[in-house]
């Protein structure tokens, strides 16, 4: 590996583009290759063994192509696979994403925190440990948002179906929570739609923390791209069609 190699970023679909945007903002001289496994999305309803197998296959391809670091831009894949992948690939820096419960719990208002995530993220031990460490002084309300990733993957973020699903999932908490943790990397793309249902409330997600951690690991390993490097982003998908790649590029232009 050298400081001229690329950083691989992957997600179960296009949601990890929300993390990619933070990575590029933090490290503009790096070259990023983003892979979205949209053909297998969502990961949140799959067993751990399958998530781990899918993640390993993606990692293998990135490493074979010379990736100098990997970002798992998916809370579910991080929960299911990060520890396993770090043991399997000890020589390569691996950054994961986790629900941003810590910054929400440290915020001035943190009495009631709503955590929106996939069912897999919420049931796995990694989140349980996070909740035990940072949720003690708050009421942490966990909502498994089944079906939400699939609707976001269509690209129609203002569909009546998406609004209706949000209303069913979290409508009862309107005006009742101090903050919302977006525990899936797809969800930052629908903050406005969630606010339409919940009202104005602070949002927290793990993208910024992942970007800071990647920068730290690259600097520590002498892998940071030089300041005169051009940097850039390449999009790939397991749904390898021009329409899917164009959808990825569209999401890359959206605010998070």
Catalytic site positions: 74, 184
Beta sheet of 203-204, edge-to-edge order: 139-144, 112-117, 179-182, 203-204
SS3 (DSSP) at 176: coil
Q: What share of the chain is helix, strand, coil (3-state, %, to 5)?
A: 50, 15, 35
Burial 215-237 (b: 16+ CB within 10 A, else e): bebbeeeebbbeeeeeeebebbb
Name the residue among 213, 251, 237, 230 with its Cα closest to residue 97: 213
Name the residue among 189, 177, 195, 22 with its Cα closest to residue 97: 22
What is the rounded CA–CA span in Å between residue 13 and residue 71? Answer: 14
Contact 71, 95 (CB under 8 A): yes
Q: Which residue has the tokens 């739609």?
A: 193
What is the rounded CA–CA span in Å between residue 142 and residue 119? Answer: 10
């Amino acid at each position: 590996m050298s400081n001229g190699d690329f950083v691989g970023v992957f997600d179960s679909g296009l949601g990890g583009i929300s993390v990619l945007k933070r990575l590029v903002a933090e490290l503009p001289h790096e070259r990023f290759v983003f892979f979205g496994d949209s053909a297998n999305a969502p990961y949140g309803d799959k067993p751990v063994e399958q998530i781990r197998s899918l993640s390993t296959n993606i990692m293998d391809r990135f490493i074979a192509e010379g990736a100098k670091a990997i970002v798992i831009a998916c809370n579910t894949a991080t929960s299911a696979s990060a520890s396993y992948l770090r043991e399997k690939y000890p020589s390569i820096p691996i950054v994961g994403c986790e629900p941003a419960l810590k910054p929400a719990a440290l915020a001035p208002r943190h009495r009631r925190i709503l955590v929106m995530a996939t069912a897999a993220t919420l049931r796995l031990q990694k989140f349980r440990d996070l909740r035990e460490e940072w949720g003690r002084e708050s009421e942490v309300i966990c909502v498994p948002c089944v079906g939400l990733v699939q609707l976001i993957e269509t690209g129609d973020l203002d569909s009546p179906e998406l609004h209706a699903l949000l209303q069913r999932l979290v409508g009862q908490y309107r005006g009742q929570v101090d903050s919302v943790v977006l525990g899936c990397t797809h969800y930052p793309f629908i903050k406005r739609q969630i606010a339409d249902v919940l009202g104005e409330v602070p949002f927290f997600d793990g993208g910024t923390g992942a970007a800071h951690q990647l920068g730290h690991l690259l600097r520590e390993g002498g892998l940071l791209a030089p300041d005169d490097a051009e940097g850039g982003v390449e999009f790939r998908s397991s749904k390898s069609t021009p329409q899917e790649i164009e959808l990825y590029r569209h999401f890359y232009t959206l605010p998070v």
